[in-house]
Amino acid sequence: MKIRMQWKLMASYLLLVLLMGGALYAYLNHSLTDYLVNGIRDNLFNEARLARLTATRHGGNLQDAPALADAIGKEIKARVTVIATDGRVIGDSEVKAADLAGLENHLQRPEIQQALTTGNGSAIRYSSTLRTSMLYVALPIQTEGKTTAVLRLALPLAALDKTRENLHTMLGAALAVAIMLSLFFSYILSRVTSHSLRAMTASAARIGKGEFGRRIPVRTRDELGELAQVMNDMSERIKGQLERLAAEKTRLDTILRGMGEGLMVTDAEGVVTLVNPAFRTLFAIGEEVEGKQLIAITRHPGLHEAYRKVLATGNERIEELTIQLGGEKTLLTHWVPLQDEEMLLGVVAVFHDISDLKLLEKIRRDFVANVSHELRTPVTVIKGYAETLLEGGLATDQERSSRFLRIIYNHAERLAALIGDLLTLSELESGDLSLEVSQVNLESTVSSVIALLGQSAEQKGITITCSDLKGMTKALADRGRLEQVLINLLDNAIKYTPERGTITIDGTREGDMVKISIADTGVGIPSQDIPRIFERFYRVDSARSRDQGGTGLGLSIVKHIVQLHGGTIVVTSTPGRGSVFSFTLRAA
């Protein structure tokens, strides 16, 4: 690159010298040739005038023309010809007198015509007689005011050709010397000039590689210096622009990484150009997707249909999509076309995962439906029996009225229990409930719960046994809430255990935790119902549960209390053989 630049400069300088030298050579050659010819012509005219003067002194006697031409030719070393006014050659220093008659008529020679009409004439032409180029000058010879003949002098131009050759040689040598000197000086000048250009090229190359801190030295105030200053300013501006772009990219990357919503950008051909981490997580994508077609990274029909509609209409679009990715997900998608005037450049899509919102909405609807259903029955019963009593039943039949009142009371108790459980569950789920944690003796707590529910078990002939509780390590718990857990679990075991069944309560130590299990020999729980057993209002057998007086909230309350203590609760069951509910607490 450097050598080519230097040789280009040298070639440009040399070409300039060659053009100037060639033009000068052509000019000098033409000018000097004209100068020499004009000089010879003037000298020849002077000699012709002297010869005419000599001829005039001889009286203009044309009979002596051959001798006169010969005498004058010997003196001036030129060919002398005397021509009569009718064109006949009557004397010639190069031709014998006897041969003059054989010469052609010279009247139409241009120099003769000029001499006869203007008083002098000249011409350069090839002489067939002497076989060489000749310079001719002619003057009229007058006798007594009358032109009697024309005196013509001719000089061969061989000397002129020799002089011209010498001139060409001198000019050629001068041009060759000029070319050699120009080569030398152009080499020096090109090195000086190309040095600055090489320095600028090297600096520009480093700037092109990202070294924007490099500066091109400004050593001159000419165009190269101005170019170096411009390149330095350009480098500074590029550096500033790249720094701003890098800052913007960092800011954009941070925003994209911090977005909880998935973001995807494609071009007009459906090639993905940008996605954020939330999009990868949402669609379970691990590999790079930039540069791939949308259909190559996800094959959800609804997604592609929405994308095609945006491309077809060029309008913003918002819709919900349901996809299957390790489970059903509901996405709220917002599609925005990227347009430049009338050209569609691509599409930006934002994906909001609203699966949890949909689940919460479903839970809310189910909760409202369940609460309404649970409240409807006791309220309807209370209203019906109260209307009966108000219509006169209370005064006419005391026994029947008392039975109605007991029914109203029982259902009011059921409503009170339902409302109490709802309030308790609300407190547990809100996180506002505070526990009074202390060291709780598990044996005494279990014994008090058994004493509380023992009568219900005895009525069904159910045997409750405790093992491994005496001397068990104390647990860190809120005693009142722990009793609530045990009452719910033991009450359920008694309700769903047939007569003369057994219930076993035991405890074991598992590391830093204490595990308490309540096993019964009841009807058991089908395997498909176990994952939902701790949901609010969920019942395996709704009709039987209501007959037992349950609200459907007990196990949900139990789960929240145990989790609030930092423990876990699990259930195992075999239909027809019973169930085991186990929960853990931190050991004291």
Tell me the per-residue pLDDT of 413-471, one tens digit each, with 9 for 90 and over.
Answer: 777 777 777 777 777 776 666 788 899 988 888 988 898 888 888 999 999 988 766 66
Per DSSP, 283 falls in state T
Tell me the per-residue pLDDT of 215-272, one tens digit each, with 9 for 90 and over.
Answer: 767 666 777 677 777 877 887 788 788 888 888 877 877 777 777 788 888 888 888 8
Check: CB of residue 100 under 8 Å from CB of residue 66.
Answer: yes
CATH class of the 259-352 domain in this structure = alpha beta
Q: For domain 436-586, which architecture applies?
A: 2-Layer Sandwich (3.30)
DSSP calls for 286-354: -S--TTSBHHHH---HHHHHHHHHHHHH---EEEEEEEESSSEEEEEEEEEEEEETTEEEEEEEEEEE-
pLDDT over 90 at 567, yes or no: yes
Cα dihedral across residues 181, 184, 188, 193: positive or negative: positive
The full set of domain ranges for the chain reads 20-163, 259-352, 358-428, 436-586
Residues in the chain: 588
Tell me the per-residue pLDDT of 68-122, one tens digit each, with 9 for 90 and over.
Answer: 888 888 888 888 888 888 888 888 888 888 888 888 888 888 988 988 888 889 9
379 vs 347 pLDDT, higher one: 347
162 vs 89 pLDDT, higher one: 89
Count Cβ atoms within 10 A of the Cβ of residue 343 and give its class: 0-12 exposed, 13-18 middle, 19 or more buried: exposed
The CATH number given to 20-163 is 3.30.450.20
Q: For domain 358-428, which architecture applies?
A: Orthogonal Bundle (1.10)
Query: Could you give the dihedral angle defined by the CA atoms of residues 356, 357, 360 and 365, in that order, rounded to the nearest 10 degrees?
Result: -140
For residues 45-52, give the mean pLDDT: 85
Listed ranges 23-32, 183-192, 349-358; the one with the highest mean pLDDT: 349-358
pLDDT at 13: 65
Q: Do domains 20-163 and 358-428 have the same CATH topology?
A: no
Listed ranges 26-35, 333-342, 373-382; the one with the highest mean pLDDT: 333-342
Check: CB of residue 297 under 8 Å from CB of residue 289.
Answer: yes
Mean per-residue pLDDT of the chain:
80
What is the distance between the alpha carbons of residues 23 and 14, in angstroms, rounded to a whole number? 14
